[in-house]
Amino acid sequence: MKQDKINIRNLSLKEIKKALSEMGEKPFRGTQIYEWLWQKDAHTFEDMTNLSISLREKIDAHFYIDHIELKDQQISSDKTIKCAFSVDENKVIEGVLIPTSSRTTACISSQIGCSLACKFCATGKLKLMRNLSAGEIVDQVVYLRDQAVNRYKTNLSNIVYMGMGEPLLNYNNMLRSIDRITSEDGLGISPKRITVSTAGIAKMIKKLGDDEVKFNLALSLHAANDRKRSEIMEINDSNNIDALREALVYFHAKTGTRVTFEYIIFKDFNDSLEDAQELAAFAKCVPCKINIIEYNPIDDGIFQQTTKAKTDAFAKYLEDRNIIVHVRRSRGKDIDAACGQLANKNDAILKSDRAMKS
């Protein structure tokens, strides 16, 4: 039974070697297994063909390999690819490949569902079911990387933890997955090409500083005063603007890394020049850049997309104050793959899959 076994991808190379030694096997077999897990993307022990059949049976008796399985894939008119992966057979997570002329980005999930309930986000309407393991996070990157190479003949240039879930509430597995993604004996991708996005958990931002992480940090801000931010993000009630400012200053002092502020701009809510003034004042706390993100409507219709004229005026106000600003136009909207839309279609995917099995 799987529940009686240990997930081998939760073990370090040292721990795998120790386990093999206790089985009476030579430690170098642990290195071979580790390579199969993290470099050759083995999903079963049967795949490990340079191990004897008897050894494969022995390790299969004690361990299992967690992995995700592709259930559905959609390709947008702009070439964005949204993938629905099954986890635990009856749960779905989503990952997105976003190709542009200058980069190819994998947007990956860190949790099944989310507990933060941000009002503008489809994922926030789901219940949090569980954290993803490091292996399940890495699997998304591997699959999306292969799609980039095989379908678009390009290498994966960037990875963003901006899919389903709050990465800082799955802290250890998030860090472990980045270690596997960046290690030479893993995927070998530079940490400078990885961005972890958080809705804003001050104590965990400080912990990132204490751990002196090398990857980039993005804060989903969306409003620079407590009244408005609490209205759309419950997390602000316990992690207000002042607490976030203090945590970001600490993080930058420890890491020297420039912070990104993500700002979804909503019609008649946070799109005025007064809002831009508040954002500019907050942004002075650390060296930063600001991504102004076009809103992607979800089914409830509470918020609307603001006009291009207002977005451009907002951006110009910030630029005139020497702030680095990028306006992010949405990609993958026609397949619900754009920012904030993930998980809209999960129930349909699961029901369809169950119907096919029945």
Residues serving a catalytic function are: 94, 339
Record the tokens describing residue 110, joined without a space.
Answer: 């860190």
Nearest in space to 138 (alpha carbons), one of 176, 99, 190: 176
Give which of 146, 98, 118, 104 is closest to 343, Cα–Cα.
118
**Structure letter (DSSP) for residue 49:** T
Residues 175-204 as b or e (16 or more Cβ within 10 Å = b): bbbbebbbeeebbebebebbbbbbbbbbeb
Identify the three-state secondary structure at position 103: coil
What separation in angstroms does the CA of 55 have from each of 15, 22, 38, 160, 190? 17, 13, 19, 38, 34
Distance CA 357, CA 354 (A): 5
Q: How far apart are CA 124 and CA 131, in angstroms?
A: 15
Q: Please say whether the beta carbons of 297 and 305 come within 8 A.
A: yes
Structure tokens of 258? Answer: 């420039």
**Residue 112 structure tokens:** 């099944």
Note the Cα 231 to chain centre separation in Å.
Answer: 24
| Alpha carbons 111 and 67: distance in angstroms, whole number | 14
